[in-house]
Amino acid sequence: MAGKANTKTIANNKKAYHDYFVEETFEAGIELVGTEVKSLRQGRANLKDAWCSVVNGEMLLNGCHISPYDFGNIFNRDPMRVRRLLMHKREILRLYGIVKQQGYSLIPLSLYFKDSRVKVQVGLCKGKKLYDKRADMAQRSAQREIERTMKERMRQG
């Protein structure tokens, strides 16, 4: 096998980490047309309100916005169209069972190039309550304060 694959991040879903606990992550391919890939190479994608669903044994990516390619004219597709994710059937059915029974959600966490292929990192997520979000914000704020204090002491010391 060759060395580590080259990866280049296109888009991250920061809102997902704020709204959900990410239990497990999976890598999936995505079915795209040529102009969408060219638009992704320019970094023009948004995963903010995206989610995944399983329909007829296929995993679909909903709510992902890939801007139309500037020079694509008639070949451009609808930016909000539903796109098929490529995973093994066994994985899809396992995830479908978990989502149906245990109240989890499938949320795309990031979109990236792995060598020349576009991949989606899908997270098996459980929703956070409001108090969980507040606790996370308080923890981050405290950590920032600690780092700021340490930095000041290093400068003074």
pLDDT of residue 4: 64
pLDDT by residue for the chain (157 residues), tens digit each? 444 678 889 999 998 888 888 999 999 999 988 888 888 999 889 999 999 999 999 999 999 999 888 887 777 777 888 999 999 999 999 999 999 988 899 999 999 999 889 999 999 999 888 888 898 889 999 999 999 999 888 888 6
Compute the distance between CA of residue 144 and CA of residue 127 in angstroms, rounded to an integer: 25
Residue type, 80: M
Task: Say if 143 falls within a structural domain.
Answer: no
Give the domain extent around 80.
Answer: 7-129
Closest CA relative to residue 150, chosen from 142, 140, 139: 142
Task: Say if 142 falls within a structural domain.
Answer: no
Task: Say if 144 falls within a structural domain.
Answer: no
pLDDT of residue 73: 78
Task: Say if 29 falls within a structural domain.
Answer: yes
Task: Say if 84 falls within a structural domain.
Answer: yes
Closest CA relative to residue 118, chosen from 4, 20, 15, 9: 9
Q: Find the CATH number of the domain harbouring 89.
A: 2.40.280.10
Q: Are strands 83-86 and 65-66 parallel, antiparallel or unpaired?
A: unpaired
Task: Say if 146 falls within a structural domain.
Answer: no
pLDDT of residue 76: 78
Q: At 123, which helix (H) or strand (E)?
A: strand 117-127
**Model confidence, pTM:** 0.79
pLDDT of residue 1: 43
| Number of domains the chain is built from | 1
Compute the distance between CA of residue 31 and CA of residue 118 in angstroms, rounded to an integer: 9
pLDDT of residue 63: 92
Contact (Cβ atoms closer than 8 angstroms) between residue 60 and residue 83: yes
